[in-house]
Structure 1
């Protein structure tokens, strides 16, 4: 049931969007964005230690298919966690949930380190994924609502790309931990998982100082609290930058509600924004299959087919190229534009991946890694932009759940099937040591990425520099919102057949 609590007119969105960049924003980036470092650490540790988990005496007796199964279980947990915690994030607030989900992750990672058998390991990986999935929904919505519109694209893409900072750290840290001359083989992989819990505690300390989203507060009848937070932020930013903040004229009128029903949310996503729904689904499926299939099993491919004993160095180089791609290209999503950059990165990375599949029989560990670096330099920026798209093109009341929904559905299709499919391909080809046996997986991933890019070219939303409220009017906004204000929508936008935006309104 939806409970209305009042009606207010506020300028908070415009005030948050007009802020210049300051140290306060860096605190938001560090406190919230570090979740991707954790995810990268988790995924890379599993990929780097695939061989360490296979022995029955020092590991857990896992096969290559089991390694793929562990990846699929982790992703399944992330999907469920995203849906459960995403709904709670829209209902109870961003801050409360991004503290809870980090706690779930921390406990589950410790449980993983103490795994006694494959079943325990799978269960712990499921819970770890649930915490990370919940983080995606809570964090992406909070970041977009706290970062000014001018910087939202580059910040979101770069933060999502920081996954590869964790991946680099994880791959390098596992090198000494998996060296039997330095650490006992039965304990090295356990210590590796424990690193994630240590990092999570540090993030929790910083995150305690991140405020609740003022946008969420004023919609849920807590406008006094929202006003106090914005005033504190404005005072802090003015002191840090030495700049006097200008006044704003844009306002939005809101019918405050304590809750918004799931029926209304579902109607919004599927009825009001069907083209945006297709867009987000396509982007998430493509990047989820590509990354989860390739990266979850990359270490296993190197050791199985190319006789690499220590995969950490190769994975570190691969991860660095991914982070550099997201970092270097991130600014272009605000300047060149969302549609061109998303379509371009998806299609180009798909074409390069397909080309690599044709030459798999001739690769070495070095050349395969080099090709992977080139492909994923572009793919990482595109994949990061999928999360950006889902977080900015739907109404505020549905933002966290929409992120969770598309992450869960897209990842369930691509992220669960990918590791299972690649794990099976590796198992089948391992007897003959013929790496060309996994080429079909490359072709499938390439096709999905190219398809996602084509969809983005036709249905993408030109969101660069626009306020969240102008891209998708809040469900609680009054229909007679001031002309030109944050909630205004024009008839031209409603009739726009491409799903792109014109002026200040939201295309559908």
Structure 2
């Protein structure tokens, strides 16, 4: 069974979790946390840039007919990004177990930084999606590698707290993206229809972190020992064959993937599109007030950024609370509370956002939704490493967290399809009720309102996915207070 690593002895208890880390353990934690923070910054900058980028590249007609399905350009671009994310996680998680967490982590950060910068040079929807897929490859590898690196380095008694805090700092990256978006919206950069390019340029800056990782980071002794032990026993590190050939690890991988899928689909199929809903609400409100095109654009940018900030302020608090909850109540009970809370709160927010106190209810509704949506992600960073042995830890964590993204990639497509279907039906009913003499401006207003209502209803129906996380919990082990497994 795993023990504190001899090269980094633990400090006597009684100190805070940070005080129990040695200097090098702190360096590992900081670098891994920054890699994940910048990863999340990149994700959220994409969410802010997605809508204006599609308008810039495609104009107002953003309907995409794939033959077998009709969806929208923003949702299709998100799906492609998530597919790259899932693929990168599968590849780099296995490579991390084979060749080293630190090496692969630096590769992933460099990859997503370069591809994000190239996204600013996009001239068409196709090359934009190619850059986003490559960005996804790098983004997808970071989580599993960062979590495994920290789990294999810090003492076991502080591991849950360290991993929970690592995940909580993802909200710092997300909030930073909100401030960046707000700063651009409120300056002259926001007056340009191509302001979204600046978001991607800023997202490329984390490449500088790679140099720090390469110069100072070493592979964890626990990983080196596990790789040597596996070789001596004829086993392979980072082997999917070994992961699925062992009954316990196979069970943990499949159930962990299902658990992760519920959270990932909930966030990327519903939660991140709250900014798009806010954008539509603000656009419709300003248009009804007689605002001009530039005022509408700036107002939309501003409130989408505010929504992102509010969402992630709630997320930061939620992930810290979840970390404490896993210590007090156990992993499974904390997950159950979070999934049920996510379902109830998200339906409430999407149905009521913008209808109670106008745009100002964003400031309390969105943090409430962020609190529940992101809590489970702190759980993934704490719980998933506790399901797999060292030689398969990055592989197992990445499989659970990222294979779910293949299914999650269908979330935006499904949401886009449901929105299009509901909106078409609502538009037809509205026009029928208004009569044939309705003016063009009135017709446009009816269609805009129908789209918003369709958005609300589609997102609310998709919240059923959170119940999947609750259903799978009884079949997973409770790992509170247990050492990391080994085989």
TM-score (norm 2): 0.79
Partner of 2:401: 407
Higher helix proportion (structure 1 or 2): 2
Contact 2:164 2:378 in 1 (8 A): yes
Please give the residue correspondences for 1:70-89 in structure 2 after superposition, counting only pairs within 5 Å.
70-89=77-96
CA distance, structure 1, for counterparts of residue 42 and residue 127 of structure 2: 17
Stretches of structure 2 that go unaligned for 5 or more consecutive residues are: 12-19, 64-71, 284-298, 424-445
The answer to whether residue 391 in structure 2 is matched with residue 397 in structure 1 is yes
1:442 to 459, 471, 474: 459
Compute the displacement of 1:13 (Å): 4.4
Say whether the 8 Å CA contact 2:96–2:238 is kept in structure 1.
no
Q: Would you say 1:282 and 2:275 are equivalent positions?
A: no
More off after superposition, 393-402 vs 380-389:
380-389
Which secondary structure does the structure 2 equivalent of 1:220 belong to? helix
Distance 1:137 1:292, change over 3 A: same
C-alpha displacement of 1:184: 5.8
Q: How many residues align?
A: 428
Tell me if structure 1 keeps the 8 A contact 2:79–2:410.
yes
Residue 15 of structure 2 is matched in structure 1 by: none
Partner of 2:480, secondary structure, is coil
- Equivalent positions of 1:73-472 (< 5 A) are 73-179=80-186, 181-182=188-189, 185=192, 187-202=194-209, 204-206=211-213, 208-221=215-228, 255=233, 259=237, 261-268=239-246, 271-273=247-249, 275-307=251-283, 309=300, 310=302, 311-357=304-350, 359=352, 362-363=355-356, 364-368=358-362, 370-414=364-408, 416-427=409-420, 429=423, 431-434=447-450, 435-456=452-473, 458-468=474-484, 472=485
Asked whether the 8 Å contact 1:276–1:459 carries over to 2, the reply is no
Contact 1:337 1:462 in 2 (8 A): yes
Kept after mapping to 2: 8 A contact 1:112/1:125: yes
| Structure 1: runs of 5+ lacking an equivalent | 1-8, 224-252, 475-508
1:150·1:464 contact (CA, 8 Å) conserved in 2?
no
- RMSD after superposition: 3.0
Q: What is the CA distance between 1:97 and its match in structure 2?
A: 0.8
1:120 CA displacement: 1.1
**TM score, norm. by length of structure 1:** 0.76
Partner of 2:67: none
Q: What does the per-residue CA deviation read over 1:328-352, in whole Å, with 9 as the maximum and x for residues that have no partner?
A: 4323323332222122212222222
Q: CA, structure 1 residues 137+329, in 2 after alignment: closer, same or farther (shift >3 Å)?
A: closer
8 Å CA contact 1:37, 1:164 repeated in 2: yes
Structure 1 residues 260, 447: CA separation in 2 closer, same or farther (over 3 Å shift)?
A: closer
1:495 alignment counterpart: none
Q: Distance in 2 between matches of 1:217 and 1:256?
A: 15
Instruction: After superposing the two structures, state which structure 1 stretch, 355-364 or 444-453, moved more.
Output: 355-364
For residue 274 of structure 1, report the CA deviation from its aligned partner.
5.2
Secondary structure of the residue aligned to 2:195 is helix
Shift of residue 326, structure 1, vs aligned partner: 1.0
Superposed CA offset, 1:352-410 (max 9, x none): 22344554683543325522311321331222212432222112221111122122221
Question: Residues 14-93 of structure 1: matches in 2 within 5 Å?
Answer: 18-19=10-11, 20-56=20-56, 59=57, 61=59, 63=62, 65-93=72-100
Q: Distance in 1 between matches of 2:338 and 2:215?
A: 36
Residue 486 of structure 2 corresponds to residue 473 of structure 1: yes
Is the partner of 2:216 in helix, strand or coil? coil
Deviates further, 405-414 or 346-355: 346-355
